């Protein structure tokens, strides 16, 4: 016995606010064109994912031992372009992935990248060795981003809590 | 050309902080073309896959913050990275076209004293080259044409899609922009079946095995069609295609040694710079054929 996740369903329907809602008629062109489904047809299938998403059956998607059924999507956007019914599949998958992240079900590499951005304001912070190499190559210094400001924004959006980020304990001054 | 700084350069963290030799070639090309980019203290774009998939609202907010930095200077952004270009273009588009999203994000930005206005544009350097510089102006600077070099072009997913937002002029099923600029270097562009195919970089974070099989199909297709090198316009594609040939070798016990070039590296060579000057030795797959064929010596 299960009930649909109405919150997820609402978020997906809200994507089409102001436009007519496009229902998927399961033609399968998304799966046909997907470069990941081609390699892993049993494990990643956008057609099934879009049906389950539109019906709010998120419990079928968000399963700890089956992350690849959702995160197999690499957001290449091919399915969005081919859908004859103008469904933006990757927008639906983004909502589902956001939900998956909040439940702590995202692949580890995604979680660590998110934490890096929270901590340094960048996905790839500047290492000393690269700074020296840049200097040797005659490249200019990279202006430093305002990390405090970025963190303030990310706290306002609740990013830290959503990704399960714990602030490093600082010594009291 | 004026002396004023024409655009803000968004090289992105991958190029600036992991692959600086790509930036070196880009800056040499800017000089040759008399372009004057300015640097700015941008933060993470942020990653259109990783951060958008982590939290959409945070992705919009940080993207919008970067856009406000450029708005404050009244300059457009030109990026060297497909991912940064896609994030900043899509965020710009979404906030310009949706009042509810713009209001929501501006409430967040207000906490740091910023406001998204929607007053600047974002483009990839490839688009800038075609639209603002022009193929003829590029050709005028070519002093060492790469005649006979067989190039497979790989444009990459996030330059072209979503089509409606990214590239009204580019055909994502048959991309031409990169071909036009590579052709200006005098190189020969080869056709290969998997030209539109993703490099597989973006699936690496979910599963390496699938990513490598994706890459293998791409490389095999171009090599079988006679390609000697690849030309890419995205540091993520570059990284996947250059560094992971070693992983392919381990996994499939098959040798891969096809050099990968970032577009401005090819342009810099054709504009007269040498293998050593643009530090091609930094590549994982050393493009020795450049020395042998165009610089009259062994690498």
Locate the domains of chain B by residue range: 7-125, 137-294
Of A131-140, B121-130, B158-167, give the lowest mean pLDDT range.
Answer: B158-167
Residue ranges for chain A with pLDDT beneath 50:
none
Q: Domain A6-102 falls in which CATH fold? A: Fumarate Reductase Iron-sulfur Protein; Chain B, domain 2 (1.10.1060)
Q: How confident is the model at residue B265 (pLDDT cuts 50, 70, 90)?
A: very high
Of the candidates A75, A140, A152, the beta carbon closest to that of B39 is on: A140
Show residues of chain A in contact with B202, CB under 8 Å. Answer: 74-76
Binary contact (B46, A117; C-beta < 8 A) = yes
- A49/chain B closest Cα distance in angstroms: 16
Average pLDDT estimate for B12-38: 97
| CATH 1.10.1060.10 residue ranges for chain A | 6-102
pLDDT of residue B82: 97
What's the pLDDT at B1? Answer: 44
> What mean pLDDT is predicted for residues B178-192?
98
DSSP summary character for residue B230: E
Q: Which of the listed CATH numbers 3.60.21.10, 3.40.50.11810, 1.20.58.1180, 1.20.1250.20 matches domain B137-294?
A: 3.40.50.11810
**Residue whose entry in the numeric block shows the structure tokens 């350097």:** B125
Asked if B148 and B134 count as a contact pair (C-beta separation under 8 A), the reply is no
Give chain B positions within 8 Å (CB) of A134. Answer: 16, 20, 23
Helix or strand (DSSP H, E) at B232: strand B229-232
**Separation CA B296–CA B219 (nearest Å):** 28
Q: Report how far residue B155's alpha carbon sits from residue B29's, in angstroms, rounded to the nearest whole number.
A: 19
- For the ranges A78-82, B107-111, B233-237, which has the lowest average pLDDT? A78-82
Task: Name which CATH class applies to B7-125.
Answer: mainly alpha
How close B21 comes to chain A (CA, Å)?
Answer: 8
Q: Please say if the pLDDT value at position B159 is more than 90.
A: yes
Mean pLDDT of chain B: 95
A132-137 own/partner pairs: CB under 8 Å, 24+ apart: A133/B20, A134/B16, A134/B20, A134/B23, A137/B20, A137/B21, A137/B24, A137/B279
Q: Which helix (H) or strand (E) holds A45?
A: none
For residue B169, name the pLDDT band (cuts at 50, 70, 90).
confident
Chain A nearest-CA residue for B60:
A157
Percentage above 90 pLDDT, chain B: 92
Q: pLDDT-based confidence at B167, cuts 50/70/90? A: confident
**CA separation for the pair B39, B52 (Å, rounded):** 25
pLDDT exceeds cutoff 50 at B13: yes
Which A residues, 66 through 105, put their C-beta within 8 Å of a C-beta on chain B?
67-68, 71-72, 74-78, 80-81, 88, 93-95, 97-98, 101
Chain A nearest-CA distance from B50, in A, is 6
Chain B residues in contact with A143 by the CB 8 A cut-off are 39-42
Q: Which residue among B44, B112, B210 sits closest to A122, beta carbon to beta carbon?
A: B44
Instruction: Choose, out of A11, A12, A29, A35, the residue to mutate when testing the contact with B (most B CBs < 10 Å).
Output: A35
Query: Above 0.85 for ipTM, yes or no?
Result: yes
Mean pLDDT across B226-244: 98
Q: Do A154 and B58 touch (CB under 8 A)?
A: yes
Q: Encode pLDDT of B61-96 as tens digits.
A: 999 999 999 999 999 999 999 999 999 999 999 999
Tell me if A76 and B23 make a contact (CB, 8 A cut-off).
Answer: no
pLDDT tens across B247-257, in order? 999 999 889 99
Q: By CA distance, what is B10's nearest residue in A?
A: A142
How much is the pLDDT for B4?
67
Nearest to A121 among B21, B43, B204 (CB): B43
Tokens of A11: 């978020």
Chain-centroid distance of CA B107 in Å reads 32
Q: Comparing C-alpha atoms, which of B86, B257, B229, B226 is closest to residue B153?
A: B229
Buried b (16+ CB within 10 A) or exposed e, A109-136: ebbebbbbbbbbbbbbbbeeebeebbee
pLDDT at residue B271 in the model:
98
DSSP secondary structure code for residue B129 in this structure: I
Would you tell me which residues 112-171 of chain A have a C-beta closer than 8 angstroms to some C-beta of chain B?
113-114, 117, 121-127, 130, 133-134, 137-140, 142-147, 149-150, 152-154, 156-159, 162-163
């Amino acid at each position: 016995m299960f009930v649909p996740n109405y919150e997820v369903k609402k978020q997906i329907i809200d994507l089409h606010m102001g436009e007519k809602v496009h229902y998927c008629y399961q033609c399968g062109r998304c799966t046909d064109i997907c470069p990941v489904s081609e390699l892993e047809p049993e494990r990643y299938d956008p057609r099934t994912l879009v049906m389950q998403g539109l019906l709010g059956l998120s419990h079928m998607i968000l399963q700890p031992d089956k992350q690849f059924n959702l995160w197999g999507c690499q957001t290449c956007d091919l399915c969005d372009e081919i859908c004859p019914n103008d469904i933006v599949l990757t927008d639906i998958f983004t909502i589902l992935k956001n939900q998956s992240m909040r439940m702590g079900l995202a692949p580890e590499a995604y979680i660590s990248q998110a934490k890096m951005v929270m901590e340094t304001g960048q996905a790839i912070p500047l290492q000393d060795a690269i700074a020296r190499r840049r200097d040797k190559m005659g490249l200019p210094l990279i202006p430093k981003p305002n990390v405090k400001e970025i963190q303030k924004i990310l706290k306002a959006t609740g990013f830290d809590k959503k990704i399960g980020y714990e602030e490093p304990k600082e010594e009291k001054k | 050309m004026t002396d004023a700084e024409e655009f803000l350069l968004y090289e992105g963290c991958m190029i600036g902080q992991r692959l600086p030799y790509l930036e070196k070639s880009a800056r040499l090309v800017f000089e040759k073309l008399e372009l004057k980019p300015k640097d700015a203290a941008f933060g993470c774009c942020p990653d259109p896959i990783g951060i958008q998939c982590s939290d959409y609202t945070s992705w919009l907010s940080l993207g919008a913050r970067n856009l406000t930095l450029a708005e404050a200077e009244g300059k457009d952004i030109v990026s060297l990275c497909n991912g940064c270009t896609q994030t900043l273009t899509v965020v710009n588009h979404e906030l310009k076209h949706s009042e509810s999203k713009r209001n929501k994000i501006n409430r967040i930005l207000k906490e740091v004293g910023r406001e998204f206005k929607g007053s600047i544009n974002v483009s990839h350097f490839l688009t800038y080259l075609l639209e603002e510089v022009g193929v003829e102006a590029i050709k005028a600077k070519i002093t060492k044409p790469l005649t006979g070099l067989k190039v497979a072009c790989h444009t990459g997913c996030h330059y072209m899609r979503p089509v409606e937002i990214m590239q009204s002029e580019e055909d994502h099923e048959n991309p031409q922009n990169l071909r036009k600029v590579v052709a200006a270097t005098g190189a020969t562009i080869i056709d290969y079946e998997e030209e539109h195919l993703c490099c597989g970089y973006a699936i690496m974070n979910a599963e390496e095995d699938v990513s490598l099989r994706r890459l293998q199909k791409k490389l095999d297709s171009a090599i079988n069609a006679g390609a000697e090198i690849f030309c890419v316009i995205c540091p993520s594609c570059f990284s996947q295609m250059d560094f992971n040939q070693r992983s392919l070798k381990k996994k499939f016990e098959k040798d891969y040694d096809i050099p990968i070039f970032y577009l401005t590296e090819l342009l810099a060579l054709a504009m007269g710079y040498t293998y050593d000057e643009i530090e091609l030795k930094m590549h994982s797959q050393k493009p020795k054929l450049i020395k042998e064929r165009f610089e009259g010596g062994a690498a």
